[in-house]
Structure 1
Amino acid sequence: MWVGFVLAHVWLTRLGSLVLLNQSFGDVDLYRRWMEAGLTQGWWPVLDEAWVYPAGAIVPLLAPTLVAGTAAGGAYVLGWCVLVTALDALAVSALLRRPGGHVAAAWWLAFLVLLGPVAIGRLDSVVAPLSVLALLAALSSPRASAALVTAGAWVKVSPGAAIVPLALAARRPWRDVVAPAAAVCVVVVGTVVALGGGRNVASFVLEQGSRGLQIESVGATPWLVAGLWSPAVQRYLNSELVTYEIAGPGTQGMADVLGAGLVVGVLLASAVLWWCRRRDGAAFWTDDALRGDFVVRGAFLMALVLIVANKVGSPQFMTWLAPPVAVALALRRPWWGRTALVVAGIAAATQVVYPWWYLDVLYGRPAVTLLLAARNVALVVLLVVTVVHLLRPPHAADEARVGRVRVGRARPRATTEVVTGDGPAEGRSEQDPSGAVGGEPGEQVGPRAPVVDRGVG
C-alpha cells in the first residue's frame, strides 16, 4: 500500500510540475507569488487587500517557503507537493487502522490518480486529508473533529459544511461541536484583526459576488450543450478571477439564482438531516453505527450540495466528495461500493476535461463538451439518490431481527461476520455492528443476523 502511495504521489508531482505545469499547477505558482509579495514587500493577502480565500489559507501557502523559499522555479512547487503528500500520508495511515482500511486507502489513491494533478495542485488537496481525519474522529473525539473541520473551513470553505451533521450527531452539540468551532474562529479572526486585516476578514465571501457562471459548473450545463450549435452562447475569460465563464440568454439570471440558491440548498440539506435524526428517535442515540453512518452520509450530502448549487465548478471541487467515501469504505459501511465507483468515474471524467482537453470545451467541440455535461448530470443524480436514501425509512424488520439476536439464546458457535452486501466484516462491537465512527470496534460477543442497511446508491 505504501509503495502504491509513493508511486501515486510521485506520478502526480511529475505530471503537474513537469508535464502540465502551466495547465494544472498554475495556482501553485500564484500561491508562491502571493507569499513572495508578503515576505519581500510586506504586502499580504487579507491583511492588506481583499482575498478570494479565507485567512487561514495563508498557513499552508506559507509552509513550503520555510524550506523552498519563494524564488521562481520548481522549488516551491516541490515543497507544496511534499506538504500535500505528508497530509495524505496522515489520512491514509488513519484509514488503514480501520476494518476496511486497505480498500479505503486503495480507493483514495486511485481517486487521486484518476482526478489527476489538480488533486495535489490546489488548496483543496490540503483540506481533503483533514476532512478524512475529522470524519474518522466524529463520534470518538467530536471536539477534535469540530476543530479540524473548522480549521479546514478557514483554508477552503467546503469542509465547514460538515459541521452540520457533526452537531446533529453530538449528544452535547454546544459543548462538543459549537464551542471548539467557535474557539478556532476566535483564534483566526483575532489573529487577523491583531495584524490589521480586520476589514478584509470576510472578503472571501464578498469576492464571490462578482463571479459569473463558470463554464464547468453544473448550472452552466444547459448553455454548455446549447453552445454546440448556438452562436448566442459565448465562452470568455474573466481576467480578474482567471476563470472561464459562459454567457448567453439567461446565464446572468442563473448565476444570481445560484448565488442565493447555494445558501438555500445548505439550509434544505440541514433540514433533511435534522428530520432524519428526529425520525430515528431513541435508536439514534443508542446505536453508534447509526450515528456514524449519519455523519458520513451527511457530509457527503453537504459536499454534493456545495458542488451542484454552485455557480463555480472548478475541477478540484471533486475532492470534496472523496473523504466521506473513503471513510465509509474504511468503516465497511454497506452500499457504498457503487457510490465509490461513481465518484471515481466522476474524477476520471474531470481529468479528461481538465487539464487534458480543456481547450476542446472552450472551443465548443462536441465530444469533451458532452463528457463534461454527462459528469454534471451524474453529480445531480448522485445528489438525488443521496437524498432519497436518507429520507427512506429504516428497515424495521431488519432492525427487529438484530434486536432478537441480541436478546436470544447463544448458539454453539459465534461468528463475527456481518452480511452487508459489500463483503464480510470483522470485529464488530455489540453497540456498533458496523465498526462505524466512534472508536475501534470491540470484540464480538455473540452471533449476529444479517444486517441490511440504508445505502447511498
Structure 2
Amino acid sequence: MHGWLAWLGVVAIPGRAFWDVDLYRWWATLALDGGRWPVLDDPWVYPAGALVPVLAPALTGARSTVDYAAGWSVGITVLDALAVAVLLRAGRRRRVPAGAWWWVTFQLALGPVAMGRLDAVVAPLCVVALAVGLRRPRVAAALLTAGAWVKVAPGALLLPLVVAVRRPGRTVVLPAAAVSAVVVGAVALGGGLSRIAGFVTTQGGRGLQVESVAATPWVITALVDDRVRIVFDTVLSTWEVTGPGTAATARALALALPVALAGLAALLVRSAASPVDVLLRGALAASATLLVVNAVGSPQLVGWLAAPVAVALTVAPDRRAWAPAAAGVLTLAALTQVVFPWGADGVVGGDPWVTAALVARNLGLVALLVGALRAVGGPRRVSRPAA
C-alpha cells in the first residue's frame, strides 16, 4: 500500500499529490544550504517541531525533488509500520487484527495525501499514543504533545486523556509540559523565541478554505452566482472562497472552535462511560470537532479521524459498536480522495460532480460529529469511582 502511494506521489502525479512535500524540500534546502531557518529566522505557518520531519530527508543529502520525496516516503512508511506493530501487539489476543487492517485500508482510501503531508507524521504518533494511553499515560502525553508541536491537532486528544486517567496532573500535564519546555528551550537557543507562536497568528488570519465544512454553502452558491468566487491565497498556498459573509464566518469559527472544545471537555467530565470509551470516543469527537468547527479544511485533515477508530477496533471491548464509525470514516476518506487529488481542478473550476462529492463528504463529517458527541454524552457521571 505504501509503495502504491509513494509511486503516485514520487512518479505518477508528484505536482498534484506531493506538492507540499516539495515545499518542505525547499524549506529544508533554504535552512541547511542558505542559512535561513523557519521559526528561527522567519515566521512559519507550522509549529517549531515541524522542523524535525521537514529536515530529516534532507539530512541524508537528498536535495532534488525526487530524492527528497522518496526519502520522505520511506520515513512515513517506517512510522506507519511502527503504528501497525503497536496495533498488532495491542490486539495480540485476537485472531483477526481488525484495527491494523482498517488502518492500512484507511490510508489506501484517503490516497497519496495520507503520505504526502506533515499530518502523515503525526497520525502514527496518535495511533501509538491512544493504544498505550491507559497503560502508559506519560508516554501517550509526551507523544501527543510532540505531535502537537508538528501539527496542532494531536494536542486536542490530551482532553480525553486527562479525563480518562487517574492523577492526570502527574501523568499527563507534567510530561506534556516537559516536552513543551524542551521545544521552547531549543527554539530559544536558536534565537527564535519571539517567533515561536507565529503559526497561531499566521493561521488566524486565513480565510474560509474551499474544502472546509463551513464553506459548503458558498461552494454550492459559486456554481450559479458570480459574487462568490474561489481564489488562491499565495501566502498560505490554499484555495479559499470569497463572497458575502465569508470573512465574518472565518472570524466566527476562530472564536467558536475553542468554545466547542471546552464544551466537549465538559461532556467528557460528566460522562459515566468507561475510561477506554472516554479516551477513544472522546478522541474521535475531538478530531471531528477540529474538522467541522474550523475555517481550514485541507484534505489531509481527515487523517485525524483514523487513530481513535483503528485503536478502538483493536482494544475496545465493544468493537462491533464501532463498526458504523469505521465504515463512515472509510467512506469520508474515499470521498476526500475523489476531491483531492483527482478532482482538485473540478472543485476550483466549478465541476458539479466533484462539488457534489465535496458536499457529501462535508455532510458526512457533520453527521460523524453528531454521532460522536452523542456517544460521548451518555449518562451523567454521578461520582467518580473509588480507586
Q: Name the TM tier (shorter chain).
A: over 0.9
Q: Is 210-219 or 325-334 further displaced after alignment?
A: 325-334
Aligned with residue 273 of structure 1, among 265, 268, 271? 268
Aligned with residue 154 of structure 1, among 138, 149, 154? 149
Counterpart for residue 450 of structure 1? none
Counterpart for residue 215 of structure 2? 220
Q: Which string of whole-angstrom CA distances, capped at 9 and with x for unpartnered residues, describes residues 154-173 of structure 1?
A: 01100010111111112111
Counterpart for residue 74 of structure 2? 82
Whether the 8 Å contact between 1:223 and 1:233 is mirrored in structure 2 is: yes
Aligned with residue 295 of structure 1, among 255, 279, 292? 279
- Distance in 2 separating the partners of 1:209 and 1:92: 35
The residue identity in structure 1 corresponding to 2:289 is V
TM-score normalised to structure 1 length: 0.81
Aligned with residue 232 of structure 1, among 227, 234, 246? 227
SS across alignment from 2:239: strand
Counterpart for residue 356 of structure 1? 342
Identity of aligned residues (%): 49
What's the offset of the Cα at 1:24? Answer: 1.2
What's the offset of the Cα at 1:208? Answer: 0.9
Greater helix share, structure number: 2
Counterpart for residue 44 of structure 1? 37
Whether the 8 Å contact between 1:296 and 1:328 is mirrored in structure 2 is: yes
Aligned with residue 209 of structure 1, among 189, 204, 208? 204
> How large is the RMSD of aligned CA atoms in angstroms?
1.3
The residue identity in structure 2 corresponding to 1:237 is F
Aligned with residue 238 of structure 2, among 234, 243, 247? 243
- Distance in 2 separating the partners of 1:48 and 1:374: 42
Whether the 8 Å contact between 1:227 and 1:233 is mirrored in structure 2 is: yes
Counterpart for residue 186 of structure 2? 191
Counterpart for residue 122 of structure 1? 117
Aligned with residue 94 of structure 1, among 80, 86, 93? 86
- Distance in 1 separating the partners of 2:248 and 2:34: 41
Whether the 8 Å contact between 1:132 and 1:324 is mirrored in structure 2 is: yes
TM-score normalised to structure 2 length: 0.95
The residue identity in structure 2 corresponding to 1:298 is G
Whether the 8 Å contact between 2:5 and 2:111 is mirrored in structure 1 is: yes
Whether the 8 Å contact between 1:33 and 1:70 is mirrored in structure 2 is: no
SS across alignment from 1:41: coil
Counterpart for residue 19 of structure 2? 26
- Distance in 1 separating the partners of 2:104 and 2:76: 13
Counterpart for residue 429 of structure 1? none
Aligned with residue 314 of structure 1, among 298, 301, 322? 298
Whether the 8 Å contact between 1:143 and 1:176 is mirrored in structure 2 is: yes
Q: After the TM superposition, which residues 339-354 of structure 1 pair with which residues of structure 2 at under 5 Å, given as runs?
A: 339-354=325-340
Q: Which string of whole-angstrom CA distances, capped at 9 and with x for unpartnered residues, describes residues 8-40 of structure 1?
A: 000000011111100110111111110101111
- Distance in 2 separating the partners of 1:73 and 1:381: 40
The alignment status of 1:391 with 2:386, answered yes or no, reads no
Q: Which string of whole-angstrom CA distances, capped at 9 and with x for unpartnered residues, describes residues 141-198 of structure 1?
A: 1101100000000011000101111111121111100000000000000110111000
What's the offset of the Cα at 1:66? Answer: 2.6
The alignment status of 1:56 with 2:49, answered yes or no, reads yes
Q: After the TM superposition, which residues 128-147 of structure 1 pair with which residues of structure 2 at under 5 Å, given as runs?
A: 128-147=123-142
Q: After the TM superposition, which residues 325-340 of structure 1 pair with which residues of structure 2 at under 5 Å, given as runs?
A: 325-332=309-316, 333-334=318-319, 335-340=321-326
Whether the 8 Å contact between 2:163 and 2:269 is mirrored in structure 1 is: yes
The alignment status of 1:380 with 2:373, answered yes or no, reads no
Whether the 8 Å contact between 1:169 and 1:294 is mirrored in structure 2 is: yes
- Distance in 1 separating the partners of 2:266 and 2:135: 25
- Distance in 2 separating the partners of 1:85 and 1:72: 20
The residue identity in structure 2 corresponding to 1:374 is A
Whether the 8 Å contact between 2:114 and 2:300 is mirrored in structure 1 is: yes
The residue identity in structure 2 corresponding to 1:71 is R
- Distance in 2 separating the partners of 1:178 and 1:218: 32
- Distance in 2 separating the partners of 1:136 and 1:209: 32
The residue identity in structure 2 corresponding to 1:87 is L
What's the offset of the Cα at 1:389? Answer: 2.1
What's the offset of the Cα at 1:240? Answer: 0.8
The alignment status of 1:166 with 2:175, answered yes or no, reads no
The residue identity in structure 1 corresponding to 2:111 is G
What's the offset of the Cα at 1:73? Answer: 3.0
- Distance in 2 separating the partners of 1:199 and 1:123: 24
Counterpart for residue 64 of structure 2? 72
SS across alignment from 2:240: strand
Q: After the TM superposition, which residues 415-454 of structure 1 pair with which residues of structure 2 at under 5 Å, given as runs?
A: none
- Distance in 1 separating the partners of 2:251 and 2:270: 29
Q: What is the total number of aligned residue pairs between the two structures?
A: 376
Structure with greater Cα Rg: 1
Whether the 8 Å contact between 2:25 and 2:65 is mirrored in structure 1 is: no
What's the offset of the Cα at 1:70? Answer: 4.1
- Distance in 1 separating the partners of 2:259 and 2:194: 27
The residue identity in structure 2 corresponding to 1:151 is A
Whether the 8 Å contact between 1:361 and 1:368 is mirrored in structure 2 is: yes
- Distance in 1 separating the partners of 2:374 and 2:161: 21
- Distance in 1 separating the partners of 2:186 and 2:120: 24
SS across alignment from 1:336: helix
The residue identity in structure 2 corresponding to 1:300 is L
Whether the 8 Å contact between 2:302 and 2:333 is mirrored in structure 1 is: yes
The residue identity in structure 2 corresponding to 1:28 is V
Whether the 8 Å contact between 2:9 and 2:17 is mirrored in structure 1 is: yes
Whether the 8 Å contact between 2:62 and 2:71 is mirrored in structure 1 is: no
- Distance in 2 separating the partners of 1:292 and 1:392: 14
